[in-house]
Amino acid sequence: MRPSHQASPGTADAAETTISIRVNNEIADRLRVLANSDEGLPDLSAVMGKLIDHVQQGVYRPGAWERDWLCQAFCDEWLERVEPDPESPYFDRPRALPDQTTPAIDREAGQ
């Protein structure tokens, strides 16, 4: 769902995960006001893709404005689950935690 004009480290040939969400029509209508074909956001799916792109940028880019936004929305405890990426001094990556399990809501078993 990442907009084609955005580049992220390590995503050139990465596997994909499908995320399905349901929201009521009132929420969908609020989000649809962000759609704009001239900006490459023709529909709600594209809007959600752009939101997801900004969220992931806040996770992997320590100096990004999105990082502060995420800390405001999710507090800052999640920062303990990222570490500097040894391949790039400008990026963070998810930290491999001992005995870490991924909840089924985040990743379906076997994928």
For 81-97, the pLDDT digits (tens) are 999 999 998 999 999 86
Q: Is residue 85 part of a domain?
A: yes
Residue 103: predicted pLDDT: 53
- 4 within a domain of the structure (yes/no): no
23-47 residue pLDDT tens = 999 999 999 999 999 999 999 999 9
Nearest to 85 by CA among 62, 111, 67, 65: 62
Q: Is the pLDDT of residue 58 over 70?
A: yes
Residue at 102 is within a domain? no
Question: Does 109 score more than 50 pLDDT?
Answer: no
pLDDT at residue 2 is higher than 90: no
Q: How many helices (H) and strands (E) does the chain have?
A: 3, 2
Single-letter amino acid code for the residue at 54 = H
* Number of structural domains found in the chain: 1
pTM of the predicted model, to two decimals? 0.74
Is 39 inside any structural domain? yes
Q: What are residue 88's phi and psi, to 5 degrees?
A: -150, 120
Angstrom distance (rounded) from CA 43 to CA 37: 8
Give percent of the chain with pLDDT exceeding 70: 75
Scanning 3-110, the segments in alpha helix (DSSP H) are 25-32, 44-60, 65-74
Query: What distance in Å separates the CA atoms of residue 100 and residue 94, rounded to the nearest whole number?
Result: 12
Distance CA 55, CA 94 (A): 14
Residue 1 forms part of a structural domain = no
- Average predicted confidence (pLDDT) for the chain: 85
Tell me, yes or no, whether 58 lies in a domain: yes
